[in-house]
Structure 1
Amino acid sequence: MSITVRSFEEFKQYEGQELGVSEYLQITQEQINKFADATLDDQWIHTQPERAEKESAFGTTIAHGYLTLSLVPHLWNQILQAENLKMMVNYGVEKLRFAQPVKVNDRVRLKASLHSIANLRGVVKIEVDVKLEIEGQRKPAYSGILVLLYHFND
C-alpha cells in the first residue's frame, strides 16, 4: 500500500518516519544485457554468464550498480504517490554507497524513510533515506539519500 500526498503539509507529517517498502523485483540477465547495451558498459562480470561462473568471485553475473540505482523511480512509485502535482524533479543522490552486488535472479526492493522536508518558496524539497534490500541478505545492495523536488499545483 502506497502513501498519497497532495501538498507540503501532507508530506510534512511523515518527516522522520518510514514511508514504506516496495514489492520485490527480480533482476534478470535480459535486464542486465539491455542496460549494458544502453550504457555501453558490457564488462564480462555483467554480460558473460559462463565466464562469470568460472572466473568471478560471485559465481555468476551481477547487475550494474547503476542499473540497480535506475530502478528507483519504478520502486519509489510503489511507495509514494503524489497528486495535485505539476512535476517532480530528481535533484540528487547523497552519501550513496554500494555495499553488496546484486546477482542475476536476485530479488530486490526499496525501503524508504523521510529524512527531511523543506518548503523552498513553494517547491517541496525532500530527502529520503533509501536502502535497496536483497531478498535473503543482511546487507543492502546500496544505501543513500535521494533528494527530490516536488512542484505542487497551488
Structure 2
Amino acid sequence: MITVDSARELTGRVGSLLGHSDWVQLPAERIAAFGALTGDEHWVHVDRERAREESPFGDLLAHGFLLLSLVTGLSNQCYTVRAAERWTNHGLDRVRFTSPVTPADAVRLALTLNSLEETTTGFRLVLGCVLERKGSDRPAMVADWIVLITEGRAR
C-alpha cells in the first residue's frame, strides 16, 4: 500500500505498479445479486444448473460490469492520497473483458499509474487496471481508469 500526502508525490511513480489488492472471489450469490440489481439476469449469470450444463464455461459467469465495479474498492488497497478531499470517477478507456470469471475463480487488481497531470483544480490520474485471475496468465479484465483528485490539507 502506497500512502502519500499529495498526488504530486506520485510523479516519480508514473509508469510503475502502485500495487496489488487482495484476492477476492465472486460467489454465485454475489453474481446473482449483481444481476438483480442491474436487471441483467441472463441465465448464464443466475441459473447455475443450466450454466453447468449449457455454458462453455461450466458454471455461472460473472458479469463484466461486476468485474469493472470491483476496481474502486480494490484500488483502495493499493494506494491512498491523504490530502484528497474529493475523488471523481472521470471515465474509462480501453475496457476489455478478456477472460471469463466463475465462482471458482479468484481475482485481484494490479494497479499501475500510467500518467499524472496537475490541473487547475487538482490532479488527473490515468490508472492502468488489470484484474488478474489466480492461476492464469490471462487477466479477466483490463482498463484505463481516469480519476480526478481535488486536494485540501493532508489528513
Distance 2:105 2:84 in 1: 34
Residue 30 of structure 1 aligns to a residue whose secondary structure is helix
The equivalent of 2:47 in structure 1 is 48
Post-superposition Cα deviations, 1:84-127, rounded to whole Å, max 9, x if no partner, equal 22110111110111111111131000001110010011320000
Normalised to the residue count of structure 2, the TM-score between the two structures is 0.95
Distance 2:67 2:135 in 1: 17
% identical aligned pairs? 35
Distance 1:68 1:8 in 2: 26
Normalised to the residue count of structure 1, the TM-score between the two structures is 0.96
Post-superposition Cα deviations, 1:40-59, rounded to whole Å, max 9, x if no partner, equal 11000000000001000011
The answer as to 2:132 corresponding to 1:144 is: no
Post-superposition Cα deviations, 1:50-76, rounded to whole Å, max 9, x if no partner, equal 000100001110100000110111100
1:3 to partner: Cα distance = 0.5
RMSD: 1.0
Distance 1:7 1:78 in 2: 17
**How do residues 96-115 of structure 1 correspond to structure 2 at under 5 angstroms?**
96-115=95-114
1:138 to partner: Cα distance = 1.1
Gaps of 5+ in 1: none
Distance 1:55 1:122 in 2: 52
Post-superposition Cα deviations, 1:21-50, rounded to whole Å, max 9, x if no partner, equal 111001111110110110011000000000
Distance 1:90 1:122 in 2: 15
Contact 1:95 1:145 in 2 (8 A): yes
The aligned length equals: 153
The equivalent of 2:23 in structure 1 is 24
